[in-house]
Amino acid sequence: MNRLRQLLTIAEMQGRDLLRRRGALLMLAAMPLAFYFALLGKGGYAITTGGVGMAFSVSGAALFSMLAAKRIEPRLVLAGYRPLDLLLGRLLLLEALGLVIVLLTTALMTVVSRPPHPGFVLAGIALTVWVAVPLGLAIATLIARELEGVLAAIAVVGVQLSLPIDSPAAPFLPLYGPLQILAHGGGIHASLLAGAGAGLGYGAALLGVATLAWRFRLRMLPATR
Partner 1 sequence: MLSLSGIGKRFGSRPVLRDVDLSVRRGESLALVGENGAGKSTLLRIIAGLEHQDEGTVTRSGRVGFCPQEPGLLDLLTADEHLVFFGRGLGLDARTARAEGHRLLGEFGFPERMRGVVTRKLSGGSRQKLNLALALLDEPALLLLDEPYTGFDQGTYVCFWEHVRSWTEAGRGVVIVTHFLNEIERVDRVHELTPCLAEAA
Short-list 34, 52, 66, 31, CA closest to 136: 66
Cβ closest to partner 1, residue 78 vs residue 193: 78
Considering only the stretches 8-16, 50-58, 149-157, 177-185, report the one whose residues sit in contact with partner 1 under the rule CB under 8 A.
8-16
Q: Which is nearer to partner 1, 12 or 166 (CB)?
A: 12
Q: Quick one: which of 29, 68, 144, 151 contacts partner 1 (CB under 8 A)?
A: 68
Report the C-alpha gap between 39 and 41 in whole angstroms. 6
Count of residues of this chain found to bind partner 1 when the rule CB under 8 A is applied = 26
Residue whose CB is less far from partner 1, 162 or 224: 224
- Segment near partner 1 (CB under 8 A); pick from 2-10, 26-34, 109-117, 172-180: 2-10
Residue among 72 and 96 whose Cβ is closer to partner 1: 72
48 within 8 A of 179, measured Cβ to Cβ: yes
Residue 9 or 110: the one with the smaller Cβ distance to partner 1 is: 9
Cβ–Cβ under 8 Å, residues 69 and 45: no
Asked if 183 is part of the footprint of partner 1 (rule: CB under 8 A), the reply reads: no
| Amino acid occupying residue 91 | L
For 69, residues 6+ apart whose C-beta sits below 8 A from its C-beta are: 14, 17, 86, 90
User: Of 216, 212, 146, 186, nearest to 49 (Cα)?
Assistant: 186
Residue 212 CB, nearest approach to partner 1 (Å): 18
Near partner 1 in 75-104, by CB under 8 A: 75-76, 78-81
Instruction: Provide, rounded to whole angstroms, the least separation between the CB of residue 94 and partner 1.
Output: 16
Residue 183: in which H helix or E strand, if any? helix 176-185
Interaction between residue 69 and partner 1 (CB under 8 A): yes
Question: Which 3 state secondary structure label does DSSP give 116?
Answer: coil
The kind and range of the H/E element at 15 are helix 2-19
Residues that bind partner 1 (CB under 8 A): 2, 5-6, 9, 13, 16-17, 20-21, 68-69, 71-72, 74-76, 78-81, 220-225
